[in-house]
């Protein structure tokens, strides 16, 4: 009896622990060398300034002051942590925005750009986000 309770408690804990590991997303990869190419990073920067900076931060502003106005707040892409971010995760978030869980339930305002950009354009933005910590002072 006791062990059955212990086992079900354990599986419950396991479920809770696993659901805490973040969302799952398709493990897509960019074309070889795409993220490293300067012209792709440049294209990403152009798009970012045009469409994303309003919420995420303009050049020389670093993180936008408007970023904290949102709940959940817009992240800081000038953080070097984004150098290590999984490109597939960034790709997925740009295309799906607030339309996927858990962001949907949290009331995110991040737009979904899936219909807006080609896959190549999306990878260009990913390329830029991963180096923004180095080029944000322009």
Cα separation, 44 vs 22, whole angstroms: 26
Tokens of residue 131, six digits: 């180096």
Residue 54 binds ligand HEC, judged by CB under 6 A: yes
| Nearest-approach distance from CB 18 to ligand HEC, in angstroms | 19
Residue 98 binds ligand HEC, judged by CB under 6 A: yes
DSSP per-residue letters across 24-53: ------PSTTTTT-HHHHHHHHHHIIIIIH
Q: Which of residues 10-49 bind ligand HEC (CB under 6 A)?
A: 47
Cα separation, 31 vs 29, whole angstroms: 7
Cα separation, 58 vs 65, whole angstroms: 10
| Nearest-approach distance from CB 28 to ligand HEC, in angstroms | 14
- Contacting ligand HEC (CB under 6 A), which of 41, 87, 123, 125? 125
Residue 59 binds ligand HEC, judged by CB under 6 A: no
- The alpha carbon torsion through 106, 9, 18, 114 (nearest 10 deg) reads -40
Q: Is 108 helix (H, G, I), strand (E, B) or coil?
A: coil
Name the residue nearer to ligand HEC (CB basis): 7 or 81. Answer: 81
Q: Is 124 helix (H, G, I), strand (E, B) or coil?
A: helix
Residue 127 binds ligand HEC, judged by CB under 6 A: no
- Contacting ligand HEC (CB under 6 A), which of 25, 51, 112, 114? 51
| Nearest-approach distance from CB 27 to ligand HEC, in angstroms | 16
Site residues for ligand HEC per CB under 6 A: 47, 51-52, 54-56, 70, 72, 74-75, 90, 93-94, 98, 103, 108-111, 113, 125
């Amino acid at each position: 009896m006791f062990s059955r309770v212990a086992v079900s408690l354990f599986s419950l804990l396991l479920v809770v622990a696993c659901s805490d590991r973040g969302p799952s997303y398709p493990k897509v990869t960019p074309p070889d060398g795409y993220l490293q190419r300067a012209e792709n990073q440049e294209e990403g920067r152009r798009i970012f300034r045009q469409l994303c900076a309003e919420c995420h931060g303009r050049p020389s502003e670093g993180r936008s002051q408007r970023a904290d106005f949102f709940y959940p707040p817009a992240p800081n892409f000038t953080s070097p942590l984004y150098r290590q971010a999984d490109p597939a995760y960034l790709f997925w978030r740009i295309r799906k925005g607030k339309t996927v869980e858990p962001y949907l339930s949290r009331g995110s305002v991040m737009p979904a750009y899936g219909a807006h950009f080609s896959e190549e354009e999306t990878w260009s933005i990913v390329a830029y986000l991963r180096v923004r910590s180095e080029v944000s002072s322009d």
